[in-house]
Homo-oligomer: A and B are copies of this chain.
Amino acid sequence: MWPIEIGARGCAKSAKRFAMSWRKGGRDGRGYHHGNLREALISAALDLIGQKGPAGVTFAEAARMAGVSTAAPYRHFRDREALLADVARQGFEKLSAVLENAWDGGRPNATRAFERTGRAYLGFAREEPAYFASMFESGIPLGSNPQLQASADRAFSVLREAAEAAAAGAPEGRRPPALMVALHIWAMTHGIAALFGRADGPLRTIPMPPEELLEAGLLVYLQGLGLGPDS
């Protein structure tokens, strides 16, 4: 599993080096079969997104980076869109893991865990801009791919769970719908990430880190729900 991670994070050439070293357990350049082309293509696509955005991803270039012929990708993906959808799916799964880890069952209290989860979302957008772009800016409709949809739903369900816990702490009688709270938090977090938190140039520079902006925003919002900072 971990070689994939390394491939996904490296520079343009890392995908090819990764591909080569993977072949037949390290015998560079040997071996007719690639052995792990599917993941190598995903890794190449991530590099390309990082360099040129989702529009810059082509089958031909990805194949070149993986060190195979231009016809090889067709063994694994129907077309360019299928490749991008798989990248996005992986991205949602990584995001789910990151968020679940940050939420940590709502310890020590909902507010603190909430902030941690929001920060994790921003951290993901900042550290994995390629994944983030594939998920939200590649123009792939989620509905077209059940697996992709399921992965996205799983990521959202973490926010949903967090919102349930937060809503439960609200004063009796004015308990807000948890779904609504989850959507508000998601929207604010996503808005901050998309507008100010991108590593590849924010839309507008702001006089504070995105994390602090989000933390302040969450506090104001939770305050508005009647939730103090310790609930």
Contact = CB atoms under 8 A, between A and B. Distances in A.
A3 to B, nearest CB: 30
A150 interface: no
Nearest to A181: B220
Given A139-B53, A188-B191, A224 B220 contact: yes
B55 A203 contact: no
A183 interface: yes
Contacts of A223: 223-225
Contact of A139 (B55, B179, B220, B221): B55
A201 B225 CA distance: 30
A216 interface: yes
B191 A142 contact: no
Interface stretch (A27-35, A102-110, A192-200): A192-200
Classify chain A: how many residues form its interface, as a range. Answer: 35 or more
Contact of A191 (B137, B194, B220, B224): B194
A82 interface: no
Contacts of A48: none
B179 A186 contact: no
Contact of A179 (B152, B179, B207, B225): B207
A203 B54 CA distance: 17
Nearest to A219: B224
Nearest to A206: B183
A194 B55 contact: no
A75 interface: no
Nearest to A227: B224
A187 B122 CA distance: 13
Contact of A196 (B183, B196, B221): B183
Contact of A216 (B139, B184, B194, B219): B184
